Amino acid sequence: MSQVALVTGAAQGLGKAIAQSLFNAGFAVALTDADEQSVIAAANEIDSSGERVLALQLNVLEKENFNTALQQTIERFGRVDALVNNAALTLTTPVMEISPEEFDKVIAVNQRGTFFGCQVFGQYFADQGYGRIVNLASLAGQNGGAAAGAHYGSTKGAILAMTKIFARNLAASGVTVNAVAPGPMDLPSVRDLVPADKLEQIINDMIPVQELGDAGFVADMVAKLASRESSFVTGATWDINGGIYMR
Ligand SMILES: NC(=O)c1ccc[n+]([C@@H]2O[C@H](COP(=O)([O-])OP(=O)(O)OC[C@H]3O[C@@H](n4cnc5c(N)ncnc54)[C@H](O)[C@@H]3O)[C@@H](O)[C@H]2O)c1
């Protein structure tokens, strides 16, 4: 029987690419998003037969939504083996112009949402003695990033710390918790947010390999970390940033 994964923010962009990679790797996939109509369409695109996909509304602002989606996925596929915390708000407001309301909103979706995903699924995985959690961090959480906002970068740095905390906490229960930290990807979220001339400048002057990242490649890395074979990797951050940040 297939392994089962749940992805947050899977209606578009990297989340949808991750759902596709997990599906290609043989997983049954629960695609979840706050935007119900779009996530239904994304699931249908990946598997029009609906045999190995499930579309669910999950707003990461609501802890209870994680519990409900977990139960719905178990009802449909029998269990869950992997969670990918991907949902995020990517805003680029200049640092001195970020309002308290906007700051709180980005923290709530990106940081608090990832925390409750780790908490709810981490407990379930620990109880069943097996699980994989992959958190979407970012280059912005390591070096401040190329164009994203200070609130966004702060949440991604926090995700790196919480990945290690949950990894340490859950390691003895058969549960691994890792992060991936992509640099700028060739995705609508990047091309829509960064003006074309500024993006060209970033590619030429800031990215040593002088290209944007490939979402499919990042998605395959996430699927690898979500697989059974990745048992010896935990608390790690896998960098995919074109050489912008080397360590
Ligand atoms: N695009 C990049 O270059 C890049 C780089 C580094 C990291 N990342 C990370 O990858 C992940 C995906 O990025 P993307 O570019 O595909 O973003 P995106 O904005 O294209 O998609 C984000 C998805 O999250 C959903 N979402 C937003 N708020 C939500 C909420 N409260 N509950 C549930 N779903 C919600 C949106 O509806 C959308 O489908 C994010 O965590 C982002 O930080 C992206």
Please report which confidence band the pLDDT of residue 194 belongs to, taking 50, 70 and 90 as the band edges: confident
Our answer to whether residue 152 is catalytic in this structure is yes
Q: Distance, CA 53 to ligand 1 centroid (Å)?
A: 20
Using one digit for the tens of pLDDT, what is the confidence trace for 35-73?
A: 999 999 999 999 999 999 999 999 999 999 999 999 999
| Contact predicate 140/124, CB 8 Å | no
Q: Distance, CA 172 to ligand 1 centroid (Å)?
A: 31
According to the model, what pLDDT value does residue 189 have?
A: 83
**Nearest partner of 135 among 82, 190, 63, judged by Cα:** 82
- Gap between the Cα atoms of 72 and 44, Å rounded: 18
> Among 8, 14, 120, 186, which residue has the most ligand 1 atoms within 8 Å of its CB, making it the best to mutate?
14
Whose structure tokens read 């164009």? 147
According to the model, what pLDDT value does residue 193 have?
A: 84
The two tokens of residue 188 are: 């609508």
**What's the pTM value of the predicted model, to 2 decimals?**
0.98
All domains in the chain, ordered by first residue: 4-185+215-234 (3.40.50.720)
According to the model, what pLDDT value does residue 51 have?
A: 97
The two tokens of residue 164 are: 């290690």
According to the model, what pLDDT value does residue 146 have?
A: 75
Using one digit for the tens of pLDDT, what is the confidence trace for 109-142?
A: 999 999 999 999 999 999 999 999 999 999 999 9
Site residues for ligand 1, CB cut-off 6 Å: 8-9, 11-15, 33-35, 58-61, 86-90, 109, 136, 138, 182, 184-185, 187, 189-190
| Contact predicate 147/202, CB 8 Å | yes
